[in-house]
Structure 1
């Protein structure tokens, strides 16, 4: 959990009307889908966006910013890093970097490094 999410949950806890942090009208929320879908509509997002898209976006953002695959895998609670790598490797900056470097056509040959 990041600081922003924690702060939002703490604020919700202070403002709660019941024993539940996530509530609506003093009753526990059974699913966030209804509220999430309403927020998507209010935001004017043209295509259907699901809650799972938030998870995917988080993984892509982490990898594109250089967070190691192993940490992203743990954050997503994948059972093994191979699952994360299979789905998200293409979003890591080093993915296919060696293949692209070959196309620089420099006079000096460059050693090709394997990326796992």
Structure 2
């Protein structure tokens, strides 16, 4: 299973999320983000537009993920360095590996990362 983790600012337009995910290429099976972000209209609209399930990852699962990208803001909010990377890894389960580290939209309001693992 290949999961695109997404992170975004509250004001991020849907186009920014689409741009960040598009930078990951094809073959994505699902989207994942934090529980609070999964409730946002941009995340739901992106999942619907791409025809992918949207997985809401609990904060405790995000905080347990080690990520190569480090954002002090994300660290303070979620206990991990990159929401996109942590969500992708957590959604893929034990033994997941990051295929593509965090990619940012041009306006820097959205990010996406790709992980692969055996667990849905």
TM category (shorter chain) comes to under 0.3
| Larger RCO (CA under 8 A, 6+ residues apart) | 2
Could you say which structure has the larger radius of gyration? 1
- State TM-score, norm by structure 2: 0.20
Larger helix proportion, structure 1 or 2? 1
State the TM-score, normalized to the length of structure 1: 0.20
